[in-house]
Amino acid sequence: MFVISFSTLFGIIIGLSLFVYAILSSTDNYVMFISISSFLLVIGGTLAATMISYQGRYVVKTLISLLSIVGPFNLNAKSIFGDVGRIIEFSSIAKKQGPLGIEKVLTEKEKKDPLIFFGVNLLTSGYNGKDVRMMLEDAVESHFERKMVQANILNSMSTFCPAFGMIGTLVGLVIMFEKMGSDIGAIGKGMALALLTTLYGVLMTNLFFKPASEKVRQREEIYRFRNLLIMEGMAMIADGKDSLTIQDRLNSFMDPAVHFKVAKG
């Protein structure tokens, strides 16, 4: 079942509501703000420029990520606290049973987590802490860079969108001036129609593409922080560090309000 992020949905609703209110409170002719051709020019032009700039498969993933931003984000201080506790638990198991003991207690969720599964494999392979840290860091950073492609594409779309809005405005002005000699009364109506593409471009940039880019970026930075914690913990387990040392090291990255305490388990 798809769960919605109410804060994101609330922001979208508020933004659209303010736009609609500005129209309703200023004019009775609401239809003049609707232009299918202007909308298609802005969206179609933005997609076309994006497809030219990036590989198609990344563009498709990015469009899908637009839907994901209204979904819930389950990584928070509580879940990171749980991850730290789990790493400390792994260190205790490794001390008693060796790295193979960690492999036996992995949950199905942890087995599906690429970083945790990779880290445990490195531990059972007998790598030292320096090598584990190096390989996990490469995995974390490469994963982050791949995910940031989507944020970069959304950011590019936020620049293409108003540009195509301006192109639509210029097309509308050319048509308007071409008809100026035959129908002076159509100038005002033509100008309003020409400006609609710019309106659509600016609205979609500031209400959808730019916020979506920032949300994807923020989420991936939080994931990266969490993954770096796991990386550090796995490296210290490989070096044979005790639970208290690992606890203090991981706590140094975290907010003091959510520090883990082995004694309180």
* Cα distance between residue 245 and residue 255, in whole Å: 17
Query: Is the pLDDT confidence value at 5 over 80?
Result: no
Residues 118 and 126: beta-carbon distance below 8 Å: no
Read off the pLDDT of residues 140-164 as tens digits, 9 standing for 90 and up: 999 999 989 999 999 999 999 999 9
Question: Lowest-pLDDT range, 64-68, 118-122, 157-161, 245-249?
Answer: 64-68
How sure is the predictor about 1, in pLDDT bands with cuts at 50, 70 and 90? very low
What average pLDDT does range 227-246 have in this prediction?
Answer: 92
Q: What is the DSSP letter of 142?
A: H
* Cα distance between residue 234 and residue 60, in whole Å: 35
Q: Which residue has the higher pLDDT, 115 or 73?
A: 115
- Total-model pTM: 0.82
Question: CA-based Rg of the chain, rounded to a whole angstrom?
Answer: 26
- Rounded (10°) CA dihedral 127, 128, 131, 133: 110
Read off the pLDDT of residues 187-219 as tens digits, 9 standing for 90 and up: 666 677 778 889 999 999 998 899 999 998 999
Question: Lowest-pLDDT range, 32-36, 88-92, 187-191, 245-249?
Answer: 187-191
What's the confidence (pLDDT) of residue 49?
95
Query: Is the pLDDT confidence value at 67 over 80?
Result: no
Q: Which residue has the higher pLDDT, 255 or 100?
A: 100
What average pLDDT does range 224-236 have in this prediction?
Answer: 94
What's the confidence (pLDDT) of residue 2?
43
Query: Is the pLDDT confidence value at 89 over 50?
Result: yes
What's the confidence (pLDDT) of residue 153?
94
Q: Which residue has the higher pLDDT, 21 or 136?
A: 136
* Cα distance between residue 40 and residue 46, in whole Å: 10
Residues 138 and 166: beta-carbon distance below 8 Å: no
Query: Is the pLDDT confidence value at 59 over 70?
Result: yes
- C-alpha distances (whole Å) from 193 to each of 36, 170, 199 are 11, 11, 10
Question: Lowest-pLDDT range, 15-24, 178-187, 205-214, 232-241?
Answer: 178-187
Query: Is the pLDDT confidence value at 34 over 90?
Result: no
What average pLDDT does range 164-169 have in this prediction?
Answer: 89
